[in-house]
Amino acid sequence: MLSVIIAYVNEYPQLVFTIRAIVEALNGLVDFEIIAINNYCAEVKAQGTREDKGYQMLVGAAEGNSWLRNFHYDKKLSHWQAKNLGVRESKGNFLWFPDAHVIPSRDSLVNMFEYYKQNWEQLNGTIHMPIGYQILEWRKLIYGLVTDPSKGAYFYKFIPLEGEREKVFEVPCMSTCGCLMHRSIFDKFGGWPEEIGIYGGGEPFFNFSLAVMGMKKYIWNPGFLYHYGNDRGYSWNFGGWLKDELIAAYCYGGIDLLQLKADNAGADKAGANTIAKEITSIPSIQQHREIIAKQQILPIEKWVKAWL
C-alpha cells in the first residue's frame, strides 16, 4: 500500500484540489490511503490567524471516502511532527510526502511508485519528482548543494534541471515535497527529531542524515510536481529557524559540527552558542544523534567532497 502523508495549516482550497488530484492519479491503479494532518495550533492562533474550513471539510469527506483519514497535531507548529504523526497512523510500506498545494503531472505519480516499488532496495534511498515552484511553471527544478565546510554550512538551493538526463538519476539532496520512501528508510533515520519546529531544520536533517548513513536521493525525471508557491496561513521566526538548523547539524554531524556552525553564526553567534548548549542537554535530541551516529559510514565533510 502507498500511504500519502499530507501535513497542512490553513491550506483551503488548495488542500482539497491537491487531494482530488492525487486520488485521480491513483484511484483504481494503486492500493492507497491519504493521511491528512491538520497542524493548526495555539501558535498559529497567536499569530492572529483563524482556522479555515479545510479540516472540517475533510472530516465530512472522510464519511464517504474510505481512503481518507484525518488527524490533528496541535502540540506545536511543525509540519515535521505532523508528518511523524501521519506515519505512525499509516498502514502502507511506502510513504509519499506531498505538500498540501501540489499537482502531479499526468501518470507521473503511479509510474514513479511502480518503478520505486520494484527497485527501492537496489536504490538504497528515496525518489523525488522535479518540482515546478509555481503551478504553471515550465522549468523543472531540483536541489543543488550550497556548502562552506569551513563554517559548518551545509545547505541547498533550487537549480534548473538542464540537459539530457537519465530516466532516474542520483542527486546529493532534494526537497521533501513529493519525497517517496520505503517505511524502513523512515525507521532508519528515526523520523524527524521531536524538537524540530516549523521551518528550516527538517530538510537538512533528512538530506544530510541519509547522506552520512550512505543512503541516496534520486530524481524521477519523467515526472513533474507542480507546486503553488505563495504565502501560507502562518509565519516562522528566526530564533526557531536557527534552533532547527542547529538540531539538524548536531544530529548528522555531532558536537564538533554543532559548535562550528554556532561559532560561525555571525551577529547571532552568542544566541547560537546558547542554543547549542541547550541542544546537547535535551535527551530526545541526544537519542536522535545516537540513532544517526550508530549507522554513520562517513562524515558529512567527506560526503560533500565526493559531490563537489
CA 53 to chain centre: 25
The residue among 268 and 106 whose pLDDT is bigger is: 106
Q: Tell me the one-letter amino acid at 204.
A: P
pLDDT at residue 238, as a whole number = 84
**Per-residue pLDDT at 239 exceeds 90:** no
pLDDT at residue 127, as a whole number = 98
Closest to 204 in 3D by CA, of 186, 216, 215, 192: 192
- The rounded distance, in Å, linking the Cα atoms of 282 and 129 is 36
Give me the mean pLDDT over the 206-224 stretch.
98
- The rounded distance, in Å, linking the Cα atoms of 303 and 233 is 37
Give me the mean pLDDT over the 272-299 stretch.
97
**Per-residue pLDDT at 198 exceeds 90:** no
- The rounded distance, in Å, linking the Cα atoms of 100 and 18 is 6
Q: What is the pLDDT of residues 200-210, one digit of tens each?
A: 899 999 999 99
Helix (H, G, I), strand (E, B) or coil at 122: helix
pLDDT band at 278 (very low <50, low <70, confident <90, very high): very high
Residue pair 109/24 in contact (Cβ under 8 Å)? The answer is: no
Whole-number Cα distances in Å, 155 to 24, 34, 141, 205: 35, 30, 16, 10
pLDDT at residue 308, as a whole number = 85
Give me the mean pLDDT over the 122-134 stretch.
97
Domains of the chain: 2-307 (3.90.550.10)
- The rounded distance, in Å, linking the Cα atoms of 158 and 131 is 9
- Percent of the chain predicted with pLDDT > 90: 94
Q: How many residues does the chain have?
A: 308
DSSP 8-class letter at 139: S
Residue pair 209/252 in contact (Cβ under 8 Å)? The answer is: yes
**Per-residue pLDDT at 233 exceeds 80:** no
User: What pTM value is reported for the model?
Assistant: 0.96
Residue pair 216/307 in contact (Cβ under 8 Å)? The answer is: no
**Per-residue pLDDT at 199 exceeds 80:** no
C-alpha cell at 167: 530516466
Average pLDDT of every residue of the chain: 96
Q: What is the pLDDT of residues 161-194, one digit of tens each?
A: 998 899 999 999 999 999 999 999 999 999 999 9
